[in-house]
């Protein structure tokens, strides 16, 4: 599917905003935990670093950050960026939605 230039620019701007939000959250966690190594260990499952601060990100956030950056590049360079934009949106909704709970 071909996407018009204004639609591609809008999609790229939205993905850039999502990338900026993810980067800010990662930087806040980096400031709270002290070092990139500590943050990586926290993402890997070693939660004894909670003594120094509380993390708001997980291993999903750097993955989404990379996906958003790749989508921005694809949206700006290709007329056929609809699939990249749709995939970024779908992955974001799937990972950010949270657990599905039954009942009331």
pLDDT of residue 51: 57
In this model, does residue 104 exceed pLDDT 60? no
- With CA atoms as reference, report the closest residue to 65 among 10, 18, 9: 18
Mean pLDDT confidence for 50-79: 86
What is the pTM for the complete model shown?
0.81
Return d(Cα 65, Cα 92) in angstroms, integer: 10
Give percent of the chain above pLDDT 90: 46
Residue found under tokens 């926290």: 42
């Amino acid at each position: 599917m071909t996407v018009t230039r204004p639609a591609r620019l809008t999609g790229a701007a939205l993905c850039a905003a999502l990338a900026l939000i993810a980067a800010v959250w990662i930087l806040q966690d980096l400031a709270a935990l002290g070092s990139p190594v500590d943050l990586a260990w926290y993402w890997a499952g070693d939660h004894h670093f909670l003594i120094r601060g509380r993390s708001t990100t997980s291993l999903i956030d750097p993955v989404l950050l990379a996906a958003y950056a790749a989508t921005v590049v694809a949206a700006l360079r290709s007329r056929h960026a609809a699939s990249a934009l749709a995939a970024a949106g779908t992955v974001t909704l799937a990972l950010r939605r949270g657990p599905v709970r039954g009942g009331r």
